[in-house]
C-alpha cells in the first residue's frame, strides 16, 4: 500500500465491486458486463502495480505527456485507454501507447485516427463522445450529430467503433445524473437499430455517480478517487526528485 492513511486498493476495489453488483441486481444485469477503468492519471507506476495486483487490468489516462513518461515504466499486462480530449496532432503518439480511445468527437479527429492507424499498422478501438447534457464546458457531439459520425466510422478499415461515451455534470445528488445516462443508452439503442450494428460499450459513470450509470447500462466506469484516494501522486514524487535541480514545472 502506498500510504498508510489510505485503505489498500484491493479493499477499495472490493467495495466498488460490491456496489456495482448491487446496482446490477437492481437493474437485472450481470455484474460481469461492467468493466472498471482505473483512472491512473497523476499516479505513478507503483500505484498501477498495486492496482494490477488487486485486479484492475484496464487503466485510463487523459494527458499524453504524463502517459508517455509513465507507461513505459509500468509493468507489462495492463490495457491502456486514452480517456481525455484528443488533439489531432497527438493522435500518432496516442496510438503508440493506447488500444482504445474514449473521446472521438469530430469527423476530422476520426479521419486522423484512421490515417495514423493505417500508417502505424494498428487497429484501435474507439468510442464516440456525446455531450448529452449540452453543457458548453464539455466536449462531445450533440446527440443529433452522432448518426453521421457513426456512418463515417463504419466506413473505416483501421478503427473499430465499439460504443459511446459521456460525462454527466457533477451533482451532489448522484440520482440527478440518471437522465444523462439513460439518454445515452437510448441513443445507443437507436443507432443499433438504424445501422443494424452492435455497439457493445457505454463508457459512463465516474466516482461520484457510477452506481447510477451502471443501473442505466454502463459497461465501462471510469474510477479514480474512489479506488486510489489521496495517495502520493506522480507529481509529488517528481517534485521531490527534481526539487534540488530546480526544474519542476507545474
Q: Rg for the chain (alpha carbons), in Å?
A: 18
Each residue of 24-55: pLDDT tens digit?
999 999 999 999 999 999 999 999 999 999 99
Phi and psi at 207, nearest 5°, equal: -55, -30
Model confidence pLDDT, tens digit, residues 166-216: 999 988 899 999 999 999 999 999 999 999 999 999 999 999 999 999 999
- 115-128 pLDDT, tens per residue? 999 999 999 999 99
Question: Any idea where the domains of the chain sit in the sequence?
Answer: 9-243
Q: Give the mean pLDDT of the chain.
A: 92
Residue 230 pLDDT greater than 80, yes or no: no
* pLDDT band of 135, cuts 50, 70, 90: confident
The per-residue b/e assignment along 53-85, b for 16 or more CB within 10 angstroms, e otherwise, is ebebebbbbbebebbeebbeebeeebebbbbbe
Is residue 117 within 8 Å of 135, Cβ to Cβ?
A: no
Residue 3 confidence (pLDDT) above 60 = no
pLDDT at 247: 42
Q: What is the mean pLDDT of residues 47-73?
A: 95
CATH of the domain spanning 9-243: 3.20.20.10
Per-residue model confidence (pLDDT) at position 35: 98
pLDDT band at 229 (very low <50, low <70, confident <90, very high): confident
Tens of pLDDT, residue by residue over 143-153, are 999 999 999 99
Burial of 181 (0-12, 13-18, 19+ CB in 10 A): buried
Which stretch of 140-149, 159-168, 200-209, 233-242 has the lowest confidence by average pLDDT? 233-242
| Residue 2 pLDDT > 60 | no
What beta strand segments (E) does the chain contain? 35-39, 58-61, 79-82, 100-104, 125-129, 160-165, 201-203, 220-223
Amino acid at each position: 500500500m502506498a500510504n498508510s492513511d489510505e485503505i489498500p486498493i484491493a479493499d477499495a476495489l472490493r467495495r466498488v465491486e460490491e456496489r456495482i453488483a448491487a446496482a446490477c441486481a437492481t437493474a437485472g444485469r450481470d455484474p460481469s458486463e461492467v468493466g472498471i477503468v482505473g483512472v491512473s492519471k497523476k499516479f505513478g507506476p507503483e500505484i498501477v502495480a498495486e492496482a494490477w495486483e488487486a485486479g484492475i487490468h484496464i487503466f485510463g489516462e487523459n494527458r499524453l505527456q504524463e502517459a508517455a513518461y509513465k507507461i513505459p515504466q509500468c509493468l507489462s499486462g495492463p490495457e491502456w485507454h486514452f480517456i481525455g480530449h484528443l488533439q489531432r496532432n497527438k493522435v500518432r503518439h496516442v496510438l503508440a501507447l493506447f488500444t482504445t480511445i474514449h473521446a472521438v468527437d469530430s469527423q476530422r479527429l476520426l479521419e486522423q485516427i484512421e490515417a495514423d492507424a493505417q500508417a502505424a499498422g494498428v487497429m484501435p478501438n474507439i468510442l464516440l463522445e456525446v455531450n448529452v447534457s449540452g453543457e458548453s464546458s464539455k466536449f462531445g457531439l450533440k446527440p443529433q450529430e452522432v448518426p453521421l459520425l457513426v456512418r463515417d466510422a463504419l466506413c473505416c478499415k483501421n478503427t473499430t467503433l465499439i460504443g459511446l461515451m459521456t460525462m454527466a455534470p457533477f451533482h451532489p445528488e448522484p440520482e440527478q445524473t440518471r437522465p444523462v445516462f439513460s439518454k445515452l443508452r437510448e441513443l445507443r439503442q437507436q443507432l443499433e437499430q438504424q445501422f443494424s450494428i452492435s455497439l457493445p460499450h457505454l463508457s459512463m459513470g465516474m466516482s461520484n455517480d457510477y452506481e447510477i450509470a451502471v443501473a442505466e447500462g454502463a459497461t465501462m466506469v471510469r474510477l479514480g478517487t474512489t479506488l486510489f484516494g489521496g495517495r502520493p501522486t506522480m507529481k509529488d514524487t517528481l517534485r521531490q526528485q527534481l526539487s534540488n535541480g530546480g526544474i519542476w514545472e507545474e
